[in-house]
Amino acid sequence: MAERLLEVKDLSTHFFTHVGVVKAVNGVSFTLDRQETLGIVGESGSGKTVAALSLMRLIPDPPGKIVAGDILLGGRDLRALSEEEMRGVRGNDIAMIFQDPMTSLNPVFKIGSQIAEAIMLHQDKSKGEAWDMAAALLARVGIPDARKRVNQYPFEFSGGMRQRAMIAMAISCNPDVLIADEPTTALDVTIQAQIIDVMREMQAQFHSGVILITHDLGVVAEIADKVMVMYGGRTVEYGPVDEVYYNPHHPYTWGLLGSLPRLDLAEKHRLEPIKGQPPDLLLLPPGCPFSGRCGFERPECRDRWPAHEVVGAEHGVHCWIPNDERLETRAGLPRFKEWVA
Amino acid sequence: MSLLEVRNLKKYFPIKSGVLRRTTGHVFAVDDISFSVEKGETLGLVGESGCGKSTTGRAVLRLTEATGGSVTFDGTDVMAATRTEMQRLRRDMQIIFQDPYASLNPRKRVKHIIGEPLVIHDIGTEDERRRRVFELLETVGLSAEHAERYPHEFSGGQRQRIGVARALALHPRLIICDEPVSALDVSIRAQIINLLEDLQQEMELTYVFIAHDLSVVKHLSDRVAVMYLGKIVETSDSKLLYDVPQHPYTEALLSAVPIPDPETERARRRIILEGDVPSPANPPKGCVFHPRCQRAQEICTTAMPTLARTGEAGERHEVACYFPTRYEDGKRSVAETPFEGALLGAVASAHHSPD
């Protein structure tokens, strides 16, 4: 059996603002095994980044606070650690790559010194050794002329190169868990393909578990083993990639899949968008955050949050529509006619 | 006759440096491209950042003055039009911008934003204009009550609808859509795509749809032009694009786009291009793609191949490559001898070119 790296149970992170409480993450649970890739998908404001920052304990407090839940990393509860202990965990056990590599690299320090700093912080290495390691890491993530490149500044790197440097920094201490928050969103698609390739290779070499946060269901289909679909701070559906793509149970997942144009299909098909606008996080209903846009709503949806329902192997959904009715409804959607025999 | 004809369009931005701001070089943003768009058709312009697709759109509307080439709209020479002629032409040619946050004036009410083109072109009485604004709001899926509000009161998708309404105000015939859905979330993006499709049907609009997202471009377009470093490297009916791409860049681009289907993804072979796109200030000699191209031979370093007709008879397919991919009976191969069309043109263009 695979080694369990991370277990998150009922995580809730709220922001206490002067206009009200924003429940950015609301009772979210998931697990991550060694060498596994979990994709977290959702649209802006769905809580996927806040969930990741909560794992790193990087939520700005105030206004934010992890109000409930357990974050177990190798059995150790990260919520119980002191700030100092947590500093030992960050970078060493969990590392994170951010969307915009330009703002997450310091513009006035050489790339090499930024990577070396991370190494010296966590490992007993001299400055010279750390710089050598930095150069070796850059070479490993596919930066040509790494020996020379360590002495350059971030502005001398292209967007793709910067993201490679970020990956080099993140893997420098061989973390168990690597969180990548929209790592390719700011990049062109051919550069995205390079970065995904590097990430995959690094995962194979370092045996990390990867949490990939993205809004791109294509990227998830490409590299994730399982996927968590978030909406309005809630997990609406969670399961192995094939289950969620071919046997989706939540109306929001249907909507997402129906909204995507497909490059590989010769025939033009009409998209089936989700109606309405994204929710106002301050005014979320106590029940399902997707009620109001769902289209298959029932009276109980707005008021109560449905319990987790197992619908397949490690595949779960939160939805009030009874299972058989759900499958029937889905079979009627143009998008899924071909998939549900 | 095509509604829009673009011939040998060029846009070079000068690079100025030193105290005297002398021109020390040029960014070759758009370098000698030609295309045409038929009435009621959508042409997709696709490519990565810096390939010149947005500059092309702006140059066609003369929002930036082209360095050379011609643009003909419904028989009228756009490049030669005077100020007043241009104002008349702008009624027919409109644009929708990418960023629905930056393209709407935050200090103006929606009714003024949408009504402004009517005021500028002095159309209708105030009352008629107000009714037209209401009508436009309904057309794009908003309602009359939104007219009094300010842009900040709307979500991204709704703002983009306002941008669309403004573009439609003058009953244009051609709309240049410059990355209109790139800033939007997936579910909202699909709403706007459907809206654009519906409007095209109802109003017989012609679109030039500019985007970096190949799946969106292919979905919306009848024909797709792939740009790389200021050049069009391939144009094709969008139906054909995915199945029989001939240019190695198009193939790499297509293969890099992730497809939201796990089984399809597992079966795909990805072509990973090495390195980054060169700077358009210093484009490679010869074919602009050759430094990243696995097929490049000596001839590729000498002159840019011309965009020439290819594919089956009756297909609208052009490629600018000496060694394009060939498809015969479902078998894929790479041309062994240089493609004649590309070759002939390239010699001619090398002869004409002053630089």
Q: In order along chain A (341 residues), what is the average pLDDT of each group of 10 residues?
A: 89 92 93 95 91 92 91 92 90 87 85 90 88 90 87 88 88 90 86 88 90 93 95 95 94 93 83 88 91 90 93 94 92 71 36
Instruction: Please list, in sequence order, all residues whose beta carbon lies within 8 angstroms of the beta carbon of residue A323, skipping any fewer than 6 positions away.
Output: A249, A309, A311
Q: Which residue has the tokens 């998150």?
A: A8
Local structure of A162: helix, strand or coil: helix
Tell me the angle at which helices A189-206 and A159-171 cross, rounded to the nearest 10 degrees.
10
On the question of pLDDT at B150 being above 60, the answer is yes
Local structure of A229: helix, strand or coil: strand
What confidence score (pLDDT) does residue B196 get?
Answer: 94
What confidence score (pLDDT) does residue A340 get?
Answer: 42
**Residue A338 in contact with partner chain B when CB distance is under 8 A:** no
Chain A residues within 8 A of B272 when measuring between CB atoms? 190, 193-194, 197
Chain A residues within 8 A of B253 when measuring between CB atoms? 189-190
Write the single-letter amino acid at A19: V
- Here the tokens at position B149 are 């509000």
Bridge partner residues of A240 (DSSP): A226
**Residue A193 in contact with partner chain B when CB distance is under 8 A:** yes
Among residues A264, A262, A232, the alpha carbon closest in space to that of A23 is found at A232
* Residue B234 dihedral angles phi and psi, to the nearest 5°: -160, 140
Chain B residues within 8 A of A158 when measuring between CB atoms? 276
How large is the average pLDDT for residues B258-287?
A: 89
What confidence score (pLDDT) does residue B295 get?
Answer: 92
Residue of chain A nearest B279, judged by CA positions: A158
User: Would you call A273 and B191 a contact, using CB atoms and an 8 Å cutoff?
Assistant: yes
What confidence score (pLDDT) does residue B346 get?
Answer: 60
**Residue B270 in contact with partner chain A when CB distance is under 8 A:** yes
**Residue A264 in contact with partner chain B when CB distance is under 8 A:** yes
Query: For residues A229 and A250, is the Cβ–Cβ distance under 8 A?
Result: yes
What confidence score (pLDDT) does residue B92 get?
Answer: 94
Task: List the 135-194 stretch of B: residues with Cβ below 8 A of A.
Answer: 155, 157-158, 185-191, 193-194
**Residue A25 in contact with partner chain B when CB distance is under 8 A:** no
Among residues A279, A239, A238, the alpha carbon closest in space to that of A23 is found at A279
| Angle, vertex CA A184, rays to CA A180 and CA A186, nearest 5 | 120
Q: Please report which confidence band the pLDDT of residue B45 belongs to, taking 50, 70 and 90 as the band edges.
A: very high
On the question of pLDDT at B351 being above 60, the answer is no
What confidence score (pLDDT) does residue A187 get?
Answer: 82
Query: For residues A215 and A259, is the Cβ–Cβ distance under 8 A?
Result: no
- Here the tokens at position A229 are 């679909």
Residue of chain B nearest A44, judged by CA positions: B185
Chain B residues within 8 A of A338 when measuring between CB atoms? none
Model confidence over B47-99: pLDDT tens digits?
988 899 999 999 999 999 999 999 999 999 999 999 999 999 999 999 998 87
Tell me the angle at which helices A127-140 and A159-171 cross, rounded to the nearest 10 degrees.
120
Query: B231-237 and B223-228: which strand pairing?
Result: antiparallel
Q: Please report which confidence band the pLDDT of residue B353 belongs to, taking 50, 70 and 90 as the band edges.
A: very low
* Dihedral (Cα; A151, A156, A162, A166), 10-degree rounding: 30
How large is the average pLDDT for residues B95-116?
A: 90
- Here the tokens at position B294 are 């696995």
Q: Measure in Å the smallest separation between the Cα of A85 and chain B Cα atoms.
A: 38
- The span from the CA of B36 to the CA of B38, in Å, is 7
Chain A residues within 8 A of B215 when measuring between CB atoms? 218, 260-263
On the question of pLDDT at B354 being above 50, the answer is no
| Measured CA distances, A114 to A126, A127, A138, A151, A215 (Å) | 14, 12, 12, 10, 29
Q: B83: burial class by Cβ within 10 Å (0-12, 13-18, 19+)?
A: exposed
On the question of pLDDT at B100 being above 80, the answer is no
Residue of chain A nearest B51, judged by CA positions: A188
- Here the tokens at position A243 are 């289950």
How large is the average pLDDT for residues B228-241?
A: 93
- The span from the CA of A141 to the CA of A97, in Å, is 14
What confidence score (pLDDT) does residue B110 get?
Answer: 94
Query: B76-77 and B22-37: which strand pairing?
Result: unpaired
**Residue A283 in contact with partner chain B when CB distance is under 8 A:** no
Among residues A85, A37, A2, A55, the alpha carbon closest in space to that of A219 is found at A37
Radius of gyration from C-alpha coordinates of chain B: 22
Complex confidence, ipTM: 0.86
Instruction: Please list, in sequence order, all residues whose beta carbon lies within 8 angstroms of the beta carbon of residue B293, skipping any fewer than 6 positions away.
Output: B248, B249, B287, B300
Chain B residues within 8 A of A275 when measuring between CB atoms? 191
Query: A37-41 and B231-237: which strand pairing?
Result: unpaired
How large is the average pLDDT for residues B242-249?
A: 92
- The span from the CA of B269 to the CA of B91, in Å, is 47
Q: Please report which confidence band the pLDDT of residue B335 belongs to, taking 50, 70 and 90 as the band edges.
A: confident
